[in-house]
Amino acid sequence: MADAKMMAQMSGKEGFIAALDQSGGSTPGALRLYGIADTDYSGDEAMFRLMHEMRVRIMTAPAFSGDKVIGAILFEKTMDGEAKGKPVPSYLWEDRGVVPFLKVDKGLAGEENGVQVMKPMPDLDELLARAVKKGIFGTKMRSVIANADKAGIAAVVKQQFEVGRQILGHGLVPIIEPEVSIKSPTKEEAEAILRDEIARQLEAVPAGEQVMLKLTIPTVADFYEPLIAHKAVARVVALSGGYSRADACEKLSRNHGMIASFSRALTEDLRLQTSDAEFDASLGRTIDEIYTASVVKA
């Protein structure tokens, strides 16, 4: 059973979720944006150490607190790391009031029928058991939809909910993330199929259980209102999907009931070379902007 205080925060508190879960292939790009060139390190161990240092700098900044950042999604290595001498999940919840989530997928399979489903996760039960012991509240897993192919989208959603039920079995709350590419030539049509498929799968969620949904900001404002209102949905959050923060926030502000769960849009102005005071001020402005888009609607 999910922690009641964390569930109350995630289902009802105003704010947004920080996505600090860059992994594998996305890490070098995140480091380059931060001001660390590929030539500044050698090997995965050094790469992930630098990424962890960046994340700790974010998590320990004054503005990064449960007042506006109600949750944070972590990469596995971040979950296993420390901040201020404490395990990261404990530090986030006990010291910052931020609910910890864990990214559990192992990346994407090749595109088929206009979509990419998740790669197999044979060790998922072991990872989930470890996450529970570390105080993790929920999980996140991503698939990608490139085109409005009904069979492909149905396969993505079916897989997401199958794994979601496995996660619920460990007392964790899954964030279902079937991302529709913002570059899709059939984005609006794909979203219509996706909404129907999600609604169908939500009817099979066990009574008394809830999932979260992480969705691309829809082309039609408030398109996901029926999902937001569903009894099996604790929260619907929006991914930035490659939009700039300004664009993502403007689009999000037109979708009532959706809050942000941004990654690149959260960190796009942060630089290694800035002083701590400048870094904290920049992050504070970003948090205020994303919070406003999540809470104040057009």
Choosing from 68, 177, 191, 289, the catalytic residue is 177
Helix axis angle for 44-59 and 27-34, nearest 10°, is 60
177 catalytic, yes or no? Answer: yes
Q: Which residue has the tokens 């937001």?
A: 228
84 catalytic, yes or no? Answer: no
Choosing from 191, 214, 251, 289, the catalytic residue is 214
Q: Which residue has the tokens 């929006």?
A: 238
Phi, psi of 290 (to 5 degrees): -70, -40
Residue type for position 276: D
Phi, psi of 87 (to 5 degrees): -55, 140
Burial label for 128, CB within 10 Å (0-12, 13-18, 19+), is buried
As given in the structure block, the two tokens for residue 71 are 């949750």
Q: Report yes or no: 80 and 115 within 8 Å, Cβ to Cβ.
A: no
Longest distance between any two alpha carbons in the chain, whole Å: 52
Q: What is the DSSP string of 170-197?
A: TT-EEEEEEEEPTT-TTHHHHHHHHHHH
- Give the E-state strand segments of the chain in sequence order: 16-20, 69-74, 82-83, 86-87, 99-103, 115-116, 138-145, 173-180, 211-216, 233-239, 258-262
Q: Report yes or no: 205 and 145 within 8 Å, Cβ to Cβ.
A: no
Tell me the catalytic residues: 177, 214
